[in-house]
Amino acid sequence: MAIYHANDLLPLAQRTGRWVVRKINNQPVLYTTNLGSVIKMVSQAAREVQVTVLDNGSAQVASQFYAYRVDQGQWQRVAAAKGTWTIPLPSCQSHLIEVMTAGNTDLDPVWTGQAGFAIISITSRPGALHPAPLQPLVDFIGDSITTGCWVAGHHASADYRPESNYVGIASDQLGIDSVRIAYSAGGVLRPATGGVPVASQFLPQIDQTTRWAVNRPDMVVVNIGVNDRRYPTDQFILAYDHFISQVKSTFPNSLILIMVPFSQTFRTEIVRCAHRHHLPVIDTRGWCTSFIDGLHPDQIGAQTAGRRLAGALAPFLKQIKGGK
């Protein structure tokens, strides 16, 4: 048996999420404020893996949720209120295990109240855990649509599906590692929920007090703007242009692609901004026609949009692989 605490887990997690180690109630935890953050690990000679977490959100509203899968099989979901759960493995051979942050609520004060996702430990019984093989790395910057909110219904946390929203579908189809830098309701002008500020402020931070050690992705995909639809167009143009400049300076060696929101909000302004910055545009017209509420894709819409995004990104990934 091998027990992996927060500091041991960080090397397994830091490639596929904005994770840090911190103390909550004097308990060291692996911590993130981002839905869709993943720990990817390979088991060796283990029969099962046990995961222990804190239910660190607004428990009076809804438990946080996690999702997990083995060898890219079907995702399983578990409420953080359970505290500890076991992932059975089909054999003592090597297996790819993924654990994803998969549900919270808009009322969780993730920015100022340490109400993000907190993993205490992962135990291998017996055997050991190792980092997963590296795949091309893509950062996705966005809002609740990128995090996977409301995909399965109208219940906060329980009906979120970062594992099977458009980013999850595209990531699986492309065979990439992904990092999500996205918060519900956020935009370049509108602050997100949970006390999270606007995109220009949440990009470099994990929360109010914690700087993010910026990664070096092969590609960055920006899908933001729909939540700014009630702001004047001239304000949006200035703020969006500033944010794209910030993304370029944050990731100077990455290929940056600009997505038009599925709703086509500020389509003309976003396309013009991308052209000014000499960045490729991903045209999403007609990609998503099935929504849970008129704005957020449901599971059918997410699958369609995810497949379309994978098709749009594939040529760029091929160029990146060819240049290495």
Task: Tell me the per-residue pLDDT of 87-124, one tens digit each, with 9 for 90 and over.
Answer: 999 999 999 999 999 999 999 999 999 999 999 999 99
DSSP symbols for 81-96:
GG-EEEEE-SSSS-EE
What is the CATH architecture of 2-131?
A: Sandwich (2.60)
Task: Tell me the per-residue pLDDT of 121-141, one tens digit each, with 9 for 90 and over.
Answer: 999 999 999 999 999 999 999
Domain boundaries, given as residue ranges, for the chain: 2-131, 137-322
Task: Tell me the per-residue pLDDT of 231-290, one tens digit each, with 9 for 90 and over.
Answer: 999 999 999 999 999 999 999 999 999 999 999 999 999 999 999 999 999 999 999 989
Overall pTM surpassing 0.85 (yes/no)? yes
Counts for the chain of helices (H) and strands (E), in that order:
7, 18
The CATH number for 137-322, chosen from 3.30.70.1230, 3.40.50.10490, 3.40.50.1110, 1.20.1250.20, is 3.40.50.1110
CA-CA distance, 250 to 277, in Å (whole number)? 14
- Return the pLDDT at 226: 98
